Amino acid sequence: MAKIVCVLYPDPVDGFPPKYARDGIPAVTGYPDGQTTPTPEAVDFTPGELLGSVSGELGLRTFLEERGHTLVVTSDKEGPDSELERELADADVVISQPFWPAYLSKARIAKAPNLKLAITAGIGSDHVDLDAAIERGMTVAEVTYSNSISVAEHAVMQILALVRNYLPSHQWARDGGWNIADCVANAYDLEGMNVGVIAAGRIGVAVLRRLAPFDVKLHYTDKRRLPRETEEELGLTYHPDARALARAVDVVSIHCPLHPETEGLFDEKLIGEMKRGSYIINTARAQIVDQDAVTAALKSGQLAGYAGDVWYPQPPPADHPWRTAPHNGMTPHVSGTTPSAQARYAAGTREILEDYLAQRPIRDEYLIVDGGSLAGTGATSYTAGTGTAPGVSA
């Protein structure tokens, strides 16, 4: 029988379950590239429920306990006295969401001799030291595509919010003002601007598709070029690297995974080479940009705005500079954990567990590490040496 340790974010401050704003969510049955949504044998939750917080338990308790397995759910994840660290001693499986990551460092993996499977309920497994997982022969799996569209919607929202100066204007309204000039002095139309994505994977392409109707000039860079039909359909300009793209556009939206090639990519030098008054939106991973360089550029006006939902560490300290930097539109890490996304990644987590516990192969597209090497989606999106990324704290 297996012991599964599941690290989830805390329940809402007003209690669980919350009072939901809507009575249901639309059923999504497939992804744009033809991949099917998760196919577990069954689920024990109603789509639209809050599943990602501790009491939601990703809807896994009945399924696991009926089969004799042990499920421990906690949000206590930091430091040697945390419940996570105590439970690691005999854990077979650790499940974690990037929004409240259970950092599985090399040291922690060493403290978990039985650990065979780390599941990311969502996308992005940089909170796991992938090199250490490879060395140990562990499997690392994530629910590929489960929240890609959720993130794309958030990125487009934040691009518009920054460029149109939405948040300060809303604040004037809340504060009882009618300060048109203050609101519009730094508000622009997106129409006609050059907008580029760093990486045209599942999220990056979804962002490009959603922006195309705004009559912007679209740019992208990626390790591999998109098919020519897609470039023509969306009118895309391809750049061989992030530097070339960043210099050419007004708005950059970042959508690559965090690994050694992308860590610290937007540093002081690259941000300094962008047009004055550029905008950066980063819903990928915080360490892809230099935190202090972004803060300084917001203060100097080199950046007209920075938004996104990814921070390091998570949760960030109360005095994290991005909480108060001028022209920032940051949210906590929420874009990929709407109830719509939760329904898909909870079902995908269950699908992975069903396969793992029945000793069946896990879907190839869900694999990041398997059999002692990067595998599946991990083999294309990540690079060796991933364990050196600072996303994995001791």
Of 201, 305, 339, 391, the one binding ligand NDP (CB under 6 A) is 201
Q: Which of 340, 347, 339 is nearest to 37 (CA)?
A: 347
Among 154, 285, 327, 344, the active-site one is: 285
According to DSSP, the residues that pair with 257 across neighbouring strands are none
The residue within the footprint of ligand NDP, chosen from 47, 52, 59, 257 (CB under 6 A), is: 257
How far is Cα 49 from Cα 18, in angstroms, rounded to an integer?
9
- Of residues 70 through 129, those in contact with ligand NDP by CB under 6 A are 122-124
Figure out which of the listed residues 158, 262, 302, 314 binds ligand NDP, where binding follows CB under 6 A. 262
Q: Which residue is nearest to ligand NDP (CB)?
A: 201
Q: Least distance (Å) from ligand NDP to the CB of residue 175?
A: 30
State the minimum distance, in angstroms, from the CB of residue 160 to ligand NDP: 17
Is 97 one of the catalytic residues?
no
Q: Is 376 in the site for ligand NDP (CB under 6 A)?
A: no
291 carries an active-site annotation: no
Q: Examine residue 143 and tell whether it contacts ligand NDP (CB under 6 A).
A: no
Query: Residue 134 contacts by C-beta under 8 Å, 6 or more apart in sequence?
Result: 369, 372, 373, 374
Tokens of 227: 């098919």
Give all strands of the β-sheet with 217-221 in edge-to-edge order. 236-238, 217-221, 194-198, 251-254, 278-282, 303-308
- DSSP code for 138: -
Q: Which of 127, 202, 333, 363 is catalytic?
A: 333
Output the smallest distance, CB 83 to ligand NDP, in A: 24
**Considering only CA atoms, which of 367, 340, 345, 377 is closest in space to residue 49?**
340
- 155-174 in b/e burial notation, b at 16+ Cβ within 10 A? bbbbbebbbbbbebbeeeee
Q: What would the x/- binding string for ligand NDP be over residues 120 to 139, using CB under 6 A?
A: --xxx---------------
- Residue 287 Cβ vs ligand NDP, minimum distance, rounded to whole Å: 10
114 is catalytic: no
Q: For residues 32 and 113, which CB has a smaller minimum distance to ligand NDP in the complex? A: 32
Nearer to ligand NDP, 3 or 202 (CB): 202
If one asks whether residue 278 binds ligand NDP (CB under 6 A), the answer comes out as: no
283 binds ligand NDP (CB under 6 A): yes
Task: Give the nearest distance from C-beta 221 to ligand NDP in angstroms.
Answer: 6
Close Cβ partners of 375 (under 8 Å, ≥ 6 residues apart): 364, 367, 368, 369
* 147 is known as an active-site residue: yes
Q: Does residue 224 belong to the site contacting ligand NDP (CB under 6 A)?
A: yes
Q: Which of 3, 255, 344, 363 binds ligand NDP (CB under 6 A)?
A: 255
Q: What CA–CA distances, in Å, run from 294 to 5, 269, 334? A: 36, 11, 21
Q: Binders of ligand NDP: how many residues, by CB under 6 A? A: 33
CB nearer to ligand NDP: give 111 or 209. Answer: 209
The one catalytic residue among 314, 327, 328, 350 = 314
d(CA 313, CA 210): 30
| Shortest distance in whole angstroms from residue 191 CB to ligand NDP | 26
Q: Which amino acid is at 1?
A: M
Sequence-ordered list of residues with C-beta below 8 angstroms from that of 184, at least 6 positions apart, any chain: 165, 169
Task: Give 283's strand partners.
Answer: none
Whole-angstrom Cα distance, residue 36 to residue 245? Answer: 33
Task: Give me the least distance between CB of 123 and ligand NDP, in Å please.
Answer: 4
Q: Helices 148-163 and 202-211, interaxial angle, to 10°?
A: 50
Q: Which residues bind ligand NDP (CB under 6 A)?
A: 122-124, 147-148, 151, 199-204, 221-224, 255-258, 261-262, 283-285, 309-310, 333, 335-336, 377, 380-381
- Residues annotated as catalytic are 147, 285, 314, 333
